[in-house]
Amino acid sequence: VRWVSGGTGDFEVETIERAARGTSVTLHLREDAGDYLDRWKLKSIIGKYSDHISLPILMQKEEWDAEKGEQVKLDEWEAVNSANALWARSKKDISDEQYAEFYKNLSYDTQAPLAWSHNRVEGSTEYTQLLFIPAKAPQDLWNRDRKAGIKLYVKRVFIMDEAEALMPAYLRWVKGVVDSADLPLNVSRELLQESRDVKAIREGNTRRVLALLDEMSKDVEKYTGFYAEFGAVLKEGLGEDFANRDKLAKLLRFASTAGTELTSLADYKARMKEGQATIYFITADNLAAAKNSPQLEVFRKKGIEVLLMTDRVDEWALSFLTEFEGTPLQSVAKGAVDLGSLQDEDEKKAAEAAAEVFKPVLERLKESLKDKAKDVRVTSRLVDSPACLV
């Protein structure tokens, strides 16, 4: 049977005689599509869309003929696809070097990944995931409108490059491949947004990445390097991913008045003074401003640790994290600071006496600053500085 179509929707079918077995497909190109006859153009298309097709794709070899001054075809053929989907192979058959090389080809990164996770997921939704954590952040990491995501395959057939529906926005730096056994081959970006299978894959990918980061956090040096690159964007998840907020909170790291090393919320809790019921933190434009804030004076005097938060996203992100494992978080720069049992009775009486003594001063200041300050009050948070803003 010969089938002929001009590509406009109509086609003709006729019965013919054919001596050889098999099927031949002949494409006729428009005059303005000559670049598709270029060997390198064809190889790049095959590499992008058909590299992992299990059948070999052969192309006639060429070599440069100096006399003719052109490429000439040889009577030899070579495979131009790998015919091997790395993610479809067993983990025990893949070396670390092969994973690293695959990542570099996938992401165009020159550095090896920090970590990766390769799993076959079975159940109501069946898919294979191979996810990589890069060593360095891309330059456009903070551009949330840029297209980002992992490659989507359906039964080893390439579907799309940046399937953003398969990963939440705060994990947009993750690279990798998902190969689904359930999605249709003609799936579109619109269908991806509505598919229940895609939602299950997205949730599975998120859990896997967070578990991978949790495992990596046990290596302090390695995790510190990762956090310097991606820590700030990870905090976006506090406001975007309620289901995984507790897992994310365990992965966060902050500077602290207790030392030079970044600390986790869990480590802070372990160091809390007896009687301390709150995790205290302060937000500032930079580390120097945070360390020298007059808000910290009473905490420094009493030896109470305060977390120093200097990322632009901190103020917003921490508004979604009110407690950690049952312990409330409180900004020392907002409202009155109640030190509870950490403040003895003499200090409380002194604060009450000071409030009475300074009553006339407070009234004058309130009147003088009525268009600039909501309130003026006596505080026990200051030691050396005469005043501070909250």
**Please, what is the end-to-end C-alpha distance for the chain in angstroms?**
83
pLDDT (tens digit per residue) in 331-379: 888 766 666 555 666 767 777 787 788 889 988 999 999 889 888 888 7
pLDDT of residue 268: 94
CA 288, 262, 246, 278 torsion: positive or negative?
negative
Distance CA 108, CA 138 (A): 11
Alpha-carbon separation of residue 32 from 59, 168, 262, 309 (angstroms): 23, 41, 59, 58
Inform me whether the pLDDT recorded for 209 exceeds 90.
yes
* Mean pLDDT (whole number) for 307-331: 92
Highest mean pLDDT among 65-79, 173-187, 200-214: 200-214
CB 73 within 8 A of CB 54: no
Domains of the chain: 2-79 (no CATH), 95-221 (3.30.230.80), 253-390 (3.40.50.11260)
According to DSSP, the residues that pair with 4 across neighbouring strands are: 12
pLDDT (tens digit per residue) in 216-240: 999 999 999 999 999 999 999 999 9
pLDDT (tens digit per residue) in 32-53: 998 998 888 998 888 777 777 7
The Cβ-side half-sphere exposure at 165, using a 13 Å CA radius, reads 17
If one compares 384 and 367, the residue with the highest pLDDT of the two is: 367
pLDDT of residue 336: 64
Query: Both tokens of residue 320?
Result: 């979604």
